[in-house]
Chains A and B, each alone.
Chain A
């Protein structure tokens, strides 16, 4: 899909950045590059993505935002998420709004890798809208 790229494993940050930079769409390119932290005794993170709904969710942002995300395992120090916004002027707010919506609604599941096993990051996860209708 336009402006949405998914990669197996850690993102090739320089390659993605230089591709985005070469687009030279406007007065500035604001980028957000997540780096996997050394937390919770984890050696890395792992991700599952439900691609059809991720693409549908991203549709409304696809004219304004560039996004790359990892599928599967990403080690501490590597990057699992990047987004970029092109604009004529400063658009810090747009990046903030995008990341908020991403965290709340993108159908992506995160796990810590602890002792080689995937442990669902339940405490950091957010319920989607209309959760609990099966009760």
Chain B
């Protein structure tokens, strides 16, 4: 399946479309794409909703990586 990944805010990378077999592979790829210091603080949204697992990922999903926030 193919999914699109958005690297938001200070991660500041171009969107990427990646091809994966399953969620484990997605997780491994994302770990390589993002600097290690970010990993423990990043939240993940699938199709703009924050999730607590990537297990139900499916073809065509948009995955957004959200670092800590501070508006105002």
Contacts and interface: CB of A to CB of B under 8 A. Distances in A.
Interface of A: 34, 47-50, 52-53, 56, 69, 80-81, 99, 102-111, 120-122, 124-135
Contacts of A129: 43, 50
A89 B39 CA distance: 45
B71 A128 contact: no
Interface of B: 6, 8-10, 27, 30-31, 34, 39-45, 48-54, 64-72
Given A48-B8, A131-B41, A133-B44, A106 B68 contact: no
Contacts of A135: 39-40
A121 B8 contact: no
Nearest to A52: B48
A108 B71 contact: yes
B66 A110 contact: no
Contacts of B8: 48, 50, 107, 109
